[in-house]
Structure 1
Amino acid sequence: MCGLPTDRLGSAHSTQQPSGDRTRSRIRKTGRAVVNHIVKHTGVGIVCAVAYFDPGNWGVDLQAGSQFGYKLLFVVLLAGLFAAFLQVLASRLGCVTGLDLASHCRLLLYNRPKHPRLYRWLLLYPLYALSEIAIISTDLAELLGSAIALCLLFPRLPLWAGVLLTASDVLLLLALGDPLGGRPVRPFELLIAALVLTVLVCMGIIISKVGVHWGLAFDGFVPSDSLFKSGALYTSIGIIGATVMPHSLFLGSALATQDRITSETPSQKSLFSVSSATSSQSGFTATTVAISGWQRLRRALQHMKTAVTTAFQIVPVKHFANEPTNHAERDNRPLAVVRAHIYHGMIDMVVSLLGFAVVINALILILASAVFFYGSGAGSGGPASLFDAYDLLRDLVGQPAATLFALALLASGQSSSIIATMAGQTVSEGFLRWRISPVLRRLITRCLGLIPSMVVAIAVGRSGVDTLLVASQVALSIVLPFIIFPLLWLTSSKTVMTAKPSQILLAERSQTVTDQPPADSEELPTQEQDIEAADSGTVSFANNKLVIVVGAIIFVIVVAANVYAIVSLAMGVGGG
Structure 2
Amino acid sequence: MTTSSSPSQANPDPQLELAIDGTTPTKKHWIDRLHHAGWTVFHHAQKHTGVGIVCSVAYFDPGNWGVDLQAGSQYGYKLLFIVLLSGLFAAFLQVLACRLGVVTGLDLASHCRILFHDRPRHTKLWRWAVLYPLYVLSEVAVVCTDLAELLGSAIALTLLFPALPLWGGVLVTGADVLLILALGNPLHARPAKVFEWIIAALVLAVLICMAMIIARINVAWGQAFDGFVPSKTLFASGALYTSVGILGATVMPHSLFLGSHLATQDRLSKISLVPVSPLSNKAQELEPTGVASRRERFQYLGRVIWQQLRSLFIVSRAELEALNARPKSYEHRENNPLEFVQSHLYHGMVDMVSSLLGFAVIINALILVLASAVFYYGSGAYGSESPASLSDAHALIKNTIGQAAALLFALALLASGQSASLVATVAGQSISEGFLNWKVSPVVRRLLTRLLGLIPSMTVAIVVGPNGINFLLVASQVILSIILPFIIFPLICLTSSSRIMRVRKTAPEHTVVSPSVEASSLPAITLDSDPEKIQTEDFVDFSSGKLMTSLGWLIWSVILAANLYVLVTLGMGQGG
| Cα contact 2:144–2:453 (8 A) shared by 1 | yes
1:297 is aligned to 2:298: yes
Question: By how many angstroms is 1:563 displaced?
Answer: 1.6
1:566 is aligned to 2:567: yes
| Cα contact 2:240–2:566 (8 A) shared by 1 | no
Counterpart position of 2:428: 424
Question: By how many angstroms is 1:390 displaced?
Answer: 1.5
Mapping of residues 405-420 of structure 1, within 5 Å: 405-420=409-424
Question: By how many angstroms is 1:504 displaced?
Answer: 7.5
Distance 1:279 1:501, change over 3 A: farther
1:472 is aligned to 2:473: no
Counterpart position of 1:524: none
Distance 1:3 1:251, change over 3 A: farther
Mapping of residues 527-566 of structure 1, within 5 Å: 537-566=538-567
Distance 1:298 1:208, change over 3 A: same
Question: By how many angstroms is 1:318 displaced?
Answer: 5.9
**CA distance in structure 2 between the aligned counterparts of 1:25 and 1:490, rounded to whole angstroms:** 44
| Cα contact 1:242–1:477 (8 A) shared by 2 | yes
Counterpart position of 2:269: 262
What SS class does the counterpart of residue 166 from structure 1 fall into?
helix
Question: By how many angstroms is 1:280 displaced?
Answer: 4.5
Counterpart position of 1:119: 126
Counterpart position of 1:441: 445
1:31 is aligned to 2:49: no
**CA distance in structure 1 between the aligned counterparts of 2:27 and 2:457, rounded to whole angstroms:** 64
**CA distance in structure 1 between the aligned counterparts of 2:446 and 2:311, rounded to whole angstroms:** 15
Mapping of residues 472-491 of structure 1, within 5 Å: 472-491=476-495
**CA distance in structure 1 between the aligned counterparts of 2:287 and 2:54, rounded to whole angstroms:** 45
Distance 1:404 1:569, change over 3 A: farther
| Cα contact 2:73–2:382 (8 A) shared by 1 | no
Aligned mate of 1:159, from 166, 170, 173: 166
**CA distance in structure 2 between the aligned counterparts of 1:335 and 1:100, rounded to whole angstroms:** 18
**CA distance in structure 2 between the aligned counterparts of 1:14 and 1:46, rounded to whole angstroms:** 46
Distance 1:564 1:10, change over 3 A: farther
Counterpart position of 2:211: 204
Distance 1:550 1:379, change over 3 A: closer
Give the partner amino acid of 1:554: I
| Cα contact 2:48–2:347 (8 A) shared by 1 | yes
| Cα contact 2:314–2:441 (8 A) shared by 1 | yes
Question: By how many angstroms is 1:297 displaced?
Answer: 2.5
| Cα contact 2:237–2:574 (8 A) shared by 1 | no
Computed over aligned residues only, the root mean square deviation of the Cα atoms, in angstroms, reads: 2.5
Counterpart position of 1:175: 182
Aligned mate of 1:321, from 324, 346, 354: 324
| Cα contact 2:52–2:355 (8 A) shared by 1 | yes
Distance 1:12 1:553, change over 3 A: farther
What SS class does the counterpart of residue 78 from structure 2 fall into?
helix
Mapping of residues 16-55 of structure 1, within 5 Å: 16=16, 23-24=30-31, 26-55=33-62
Q: TM-score, normalised by structure 1?
A: 0.88
Distance 1:215 1:248, change over 3 A: same
Give the partner amino acid of 1:497: M
Distance 1:15 1:146, change over 3 A: closer
1:450-501 CA deviation, whole Å, 9 max, x = no partner? Answer: 1111122122312343343244223212211010000001111112111224
Deviates more, 1:180-189 or 1:310-319: 310-319
Give the partner amino acid of 2:467: S
Question: By how many angstroms is 1:13 displaced?
Answer: 5.0
Question: By how many angstroms is 1:10 displaced?
Answer: 6.0
Mapping of residues 251-400 of structure 1, within 5 Å: 251-264=258-271, 266=273, 277=276, 279-280=278-279, 283=282, 290=289, 292=292, 293-314=294-315, 320-378=323-381, 383-400=387-404
**CA distance in structure 2 between the aligned counterparts of 1:553 and 1:11, rounded to whole angstroms:** 65
Question: By how many angstroms is 1:23 displaced?
Answer: 3.9
Question: By how many angstroms is 1:66 displaced?
Answer: 1.5
**CA distance in structure 2 between the aligned counterparts of 1:463 and 1:5, rounded to whole angstroms:** 92
Question: By how many angstroms is 1:315 displaced?
Answer: 5.1
**CA distance in structure 2 between the aligned counterparts of 1:123 and 1:387, rounded to whole angstroms:** 41
Counterpart position of 2:497: 493
1:93 is aligned to 2:100: yes
Question: By how many angstroms is 1:564 displaced?
Answer: 1.8
Q: How many residues align?
A: 541
Question: By how many angstroms is 1:320 displaced?
Answer: 3.4
Distance 1:358 1:476, change over 3 A: same
| Cα contact 2:113–2:434 (8 A) shared by 1 | yes
Distance 1:546 1:245, change over 3 A: same
Could you list the runs of 5+ residues in structure 2 that have no partner in the other structure?
Answer: 18-24, 513-535
Counterpart position of 2:518: none
Name the structure where helix makes up a greater proportion of residues. 1
**CA distance in structure 2 between the aligned counterparts of 1:76 and 1:10, rounded to whole angstroms:** 67
Deviates more, 1:28-37 or 1:210-219: 28-37
| Cα contact 2:74–2:382 (8 A) shared by 1 | no
1:194-250 CA deviation, whole Å, 9 max, x = no partner? Answer: 111111011001101100111211222222333333543332222112210000000
Distance 1:330 1:116, change over 3 A: same
Give the partner amino acid of 2:302: L
What SS class does the counterpart of residue 70 from structure 1 fall into?
coil
Q: TM-score, normalised by structure 2?
A: 0.88
| Cα contact 2:211–2:366 (8 A) shared by 1 | yes
Counterpart position of 1:518: none
1:524-552 CA deviation, whole Å, 9 max, x = no partner? Answer: xxxxxxxxxxx954211100111001001
Counterpart position of 1:515: none
| Cα contact 1:110–1:326 (8 A) shared by 2 | no
Distance 1:282 1:498, change over 3 A: farther
Give the partner amino acid of 1:84: A
Give the partner amino acid of 1:167: G
Aligned mate of 1:240, from 229, 247, 255: 247
Distance 1:287 1:53, change over 3 A: closer
| Cα contact 1:383–1:389 (8 A) shared by 2 | no
Aligned mate of 1:65, from 65, 72, 88: 72
Distance 1:19 1:391, change over 3 A: closer
Distance 1:319 1:187, change over 3 A: closer
| Cα contact 2:74–2:387 (8 A) shared by 1 | no
What SS class does the counterpart of residue 144 from structure 1 fall into?
helix
1:109-167 CA deviation, whole Å, 9 max, x = no partner? Answer: 11112122211111111111110111111111110010011111111111110110010
Distance 1:302 1:374, change over 3 A: same
- Matched-pair identity in %: 57
Could you list the runs of 5+ residues in structure 1 that have no partner in the other structure?
Answer: 267-272, 509-534
Give the partner amino acid of 1:539: V
Aligned mate of 2:115, from 108, 132, 137: 108
